[in-house]
Chain A
Amino acid sequence: MDGSLALEIPQIFPEIALSVFGIAILLLDTFLPKSKRHAATGIALAAIALTAVFTLGLVGEDGTFFSGMIVVDGFSIFLRITFLVVGALTVLASSSYATRENLAVGEFQALVLFAIVGMNLMAASNELIMIFLGLETLSIASYILLGIKRSDAKSNEAALKYFLLGSFSSAFMLYGIALAYGATRTTNLEAIGREIAAGSAGMTLIYVAVGLLFVGFGFKVAVVPFHVWTPDVYEGAPTPISAFMSVGPKAAGFAVLVRVLMVAFPAAYAKWLGLVWLSAVLTMFVGNCVALVQSNIKRMLAYSSIAHAGYILVAVATRNQEGVAALLFYTLTYALMNIGAFTIVSLVSRQGDRKTYLDDYAGLGFKQPGLAAALSIFLLSLAGIPLTAGFAGKFFIFRAALESKFVWLAIIGVLNSAISVYYYLRVIVVMYMKEAPDDWSPVAMSSSAIAVIALSVLGILQFGIFPDMLISLARSSVIGYR
């Protein structure tokens, strides 16, 4: 057995590489003199690049490995790449942030790498145990990242709230796993699917299990009614980490949700569809309507990210390949726009994340046109205006919804995106149509932040104007998926 296992190690090279580099960065951060520690960023980026190479090396090696624990398929590879993009942008954004807030850069980057490991394992896991481990790796890393500003009470509070609710939700998820295991004698997703199909499983247990799992994942991806932690956590967290939290764990959570629901519990579709449908509608409405009245832009983006989780749930509900492809497209592009927006927010918020209110953006439009234009593009993309990736993503999702006859879900969705335009426009209004205060202090830019913003803008326009490449990729990677 050992031989075969040893042969399968290449399948998790990406994760191994990330972990090794993460540990290396930690040690460097400890033993190197302070002056050399900023090297961590470069190393982290190198690690991510290397991992990307390994991941792309897996293309075409579809199959399950480590006795069914790990699955390699287009879906998981696409997601792994997505997570690497998220990670790279986060690393870039946080390097300048960490120096500004004088935090330990090394710890920061290492933890981001560990978080990526967790997300990758989630995307690639074919096993409830692996899902749990990946999720916890991600969660524990993100607990620390949220609280990394040890002397800042808001950061502590964000970390604490996420920690308590996070572990609370993992308990629910675990219980769901336990019941699924009890009902089907296995924790392997495909095996569970087979057992249920064979009718040799107690359906009551299965339904309860699905419900509990949905609660668990619902917390992670912040869908109503499990969203209450989101605004506080995003507001209190170090801004690059808010960005990371709003895209990385969300995408990973949705990936797992889709895989579990479609591979393990297709038989319970009729049951979980109701959950997803209702939760999607609630999530869109609550997210958008509460976002309308926010004055703190970080909270506003938090509620907007809740709303976007709602759109993604629409894609989940469709349960067809179009839907999953749309989900992949959406999570990647959403990552670009949200990280971009949060990066600008963290720049504008100045040292100590103080200026995060709408009024702090007054007059930005003509004081620093480039920055404001970029933020406008991100916001318009979030609002789903054509020629931005946000529109393309919504377009694909609603197309999938209509294709599987979810007309009302689609109508509610588009009306919500019309509502959302209002609060995204509010920021643009303040930037361009209000005069700057007299005590205006220019926003300090940093090369790495500029890189993040530029990359995001380019990505958004690229995938917005010519989405063909990406959507075809997403489609081909979900072939035969469900």
Chain B
Amino acid sequence: MPHSILTLITFLPAGGAALLLFWPRTGASAIRNIAMGVSLLTLLLSLPLFPAFDTSNPGMQFEQSAAWIPSLGIRYHVGIDGISLFLVLLTTVLTPVAILSSWKSIQTKVREYHLFMLLLETGMIGVFVALDFFLFYVFWEVMLVPMYFLIGVWGGQRRIYAAVKFFLYTMVGSVLMLLAIIALYLLNGATTFDFPAILESLHQGNLILSPGQQHWLFLAFFFAFAIKVPLFPLHTWLPDAHVEAPTAGSVVLAGVLLKMGTYGIVRFCLPLFPEATREFTPFISLLAVVGIIYGALVAMVQTDIKKLVAYSSVSHLGFVVLGIFALNEQGLHGAMYQMLNHGISTGALFLLVGMLYDRRHTRLIDEFGGLADPLPVFSAIFMIVALSSIGLPMLNGFVGEFLILLGAFDADRTYAVIAASGVILSAVYMLWVYQRVVFGQVTNPRNRRLLDLDFREKLVLLPLVVLIFWMGIYSESFLRKMDGSVSQVLQHFRSSAVVMKH
């Protein structure tokens, strides 16, 4: 496997985007094919990472490092470990799915749409593989621009409001993170922005952060990530963005972008600022639990399916954060696993909602009912996905939530109990909406003559359904890959905590 594989995977989509830039805007189908081809190629390139990934090695793999801005010690340094591996794969899987899903629904400005889609993929992969703080920040910010355009140009009624809100929220968070990054760089002797190097000097005791410094740096980082997750009080941009974004946009947004926040927490906050992490854990877990319940309750009263799914993500991401801040193996494993589950099942949910919308141009629950009759396949898949997002055993959702609750129970019983009730709530709103949409008589005559999923739509959903079962049944094959890195994070966490003590 070439050592520049990650670079290839990261920038191949950008190359495709560049190609589209000079492609004549006429011939939409050709453009779609190019975009699809590029994203599929990226997927094919990224799949070998899974078998080739060395489970025994908890550290970074497939690393590549080159000088970028030497005068500031900024390097182009990429690599993946068990934590980012699956997120990269998730991205490369979801992007072609998203492109395929918008095959029919996007008819205007096709070239620009796919251009931004591919740029977005580059940005997302970059965030997960970057190991240099500067590089990470660059990807983190640049990724905003295509998403902003996707929401703002191809979105729904209030798309502009949603797009700007999305951009500004993330911006405010990330500029503070930028300062924190620079501060970290200066405290470490202004020599390097390289994350592993800084982590190393932290463990060697060359870089000692006073509690006060840890406190503020942690907050600066965590604020940026918490907005992205989004953690409970900072979530208000999410429903707008989700509802207004085009289907593919929502899929990517829910599937990948939200994971950047949780990924950042696991990757940076825990190892770098162990004491501050301990200090804030109770507070953050509280917010997470509040988010779980709040998201579930709000989702329950939604009349718009897409909004419901959006709020359900708030609830699910609450689980992830709770798992992370359980600060033990099960919790972290569960959190990592739940990230993927949420990416897949919520992505699938958004796709299904999008397919309904393409047929009826409405997302109001009352408009539907008794779809089982006209749309059997749709209803079946909807059932599977809904159950996976509820966390039914044998399906992917179960494993994640179970591990998270296990970990949380170790950490703090009350929170675990409350969170568990969140699981029940999620079952309530999911099954309820399913019952209202699918079961019963066809109330609305317009639903009677709807066409069931065509081949393309089945093709879109197939990989996700497969993954839902696979990850539900053979979860071991995934968890094993994560194991090393996850335990290393925790061990970093503990060891550096020890260093701090003395």
Contact = CB atoms under 8 A, between A and B. Distances in A.
Within the complex, are A and B direct neighbours (CB within 8 Å)? yes
Nearest to B161: A429
B160 interface: yes
Given A402-B183, A414-B176, A425 B71 contact: no
Contact of A429 (B144, B160, B183): B160
Contact of B71 (A380, A410, A468): A468
Interface in B141-180: 141-142, 144-145, 148-149, 152-153, 159-160, 163-164, 167-168, 171-172, 175-176, 178-179
Nearest to B25: A369
A479 to B, nearest CB: 13
A102 B23 CA distance: 39
Nearest to A422: B168
Main secondary structure of the interface of B (DSSP, over half): helix
A22 to B, nearest CB: 38
Which size class do B's interface residues fall under? Answer: 20 to 34
A385 interface: yes
Contact of A432 (B70, B152, B175, B182): B152
A273 interface: no
A421 B172 CA distance: 10
Nearest to B144: A385
B182 A421 contact: no
Contacts of B186: 399, 402-403
A290 interface: no
B179 A472 contact: no
Interface string B116-147: 00000000000000000000011001101100
A399 B137 contact: no
A171 interface: no
B152 A429 contact: yes
A472 B178 contact: no
A472 B141 contact: no
B125 to A, nearest CB: 16
A386 B142 contact: yes
Contact of B178 (A366, A395, A422, A468): A395
Given A402-B179, A429-B160, A466 B69 contact: yes
Given A411-B179, A414-B179, A429 B71 contact: no
A239 interface: no
Contacts of B179: 398, 402, 410-411, 414
Nearest to A421: B171
A27 interface: no
Interface string A413-441: 01101100110010001001100000000
B71 A399 contact: no
Question: Does more than half of chain A's interface fall in helix, strand or loop, or is it mixed?
Answer: helix
Contact of A433 (B153, B171, B172, B178): B153
A364 to B, nearest CB: 13
A402 B186 CA distance: 8
Nearest to A410: B179
Contact of B168 (A385, A414, A421, A466): A421
B234 interface: no
B70 A385 contact: no
Contacts of A380: 145
A380 B109 CA distance: 22
Nearest to B141: A386
A148 interface: no
A196 interface: no
B71 A398 contact: no
Contact of A471 (B71, B109, B175): B71
Given A366-B109, A414-B175, A433-B160, A468 B69 contact: yes
B197 interface: no
A444 to B, nearest CB: 22
A471 B164 CA distance: 32
Contacts of A403: 186, 190
Nearest to A399: B182
A42 B144 CA distance: 42
A379 to B, nearest CB: 11
B75 to A, nearest CB: 12
A411 B160 contact: no
A70 B491 CA distance: 62
B152 A418 contact: no
Given A414-B179, A468-B71, A386 B152 contact: no
Given A385-B141, A387-B138, A468-B70, A425 B167 contact: yes
11 contacts: A385-B141, A385-B142, A399-B186, A402-B179, A410-B182, A414-B179, A422-B164, A429-B152, A429-B160, A433-B153, A472-B71
Interface of A: 366, 380, 385-387, 391, 395, 398-399, 402-403, 410-411, 414-415, 417-418, 421-422, 425, 429, 432-433, 466-468, 471-472, 475
Given A398-B182, A417-B175, 13 more contacts: A385-B144, A386-B138, A414-B179, A415-B172, A415-B175, A418-B172, A421-B168, A429-B152, A433-B152, A466-B68, A467-B69, A468-B68, A468-B69
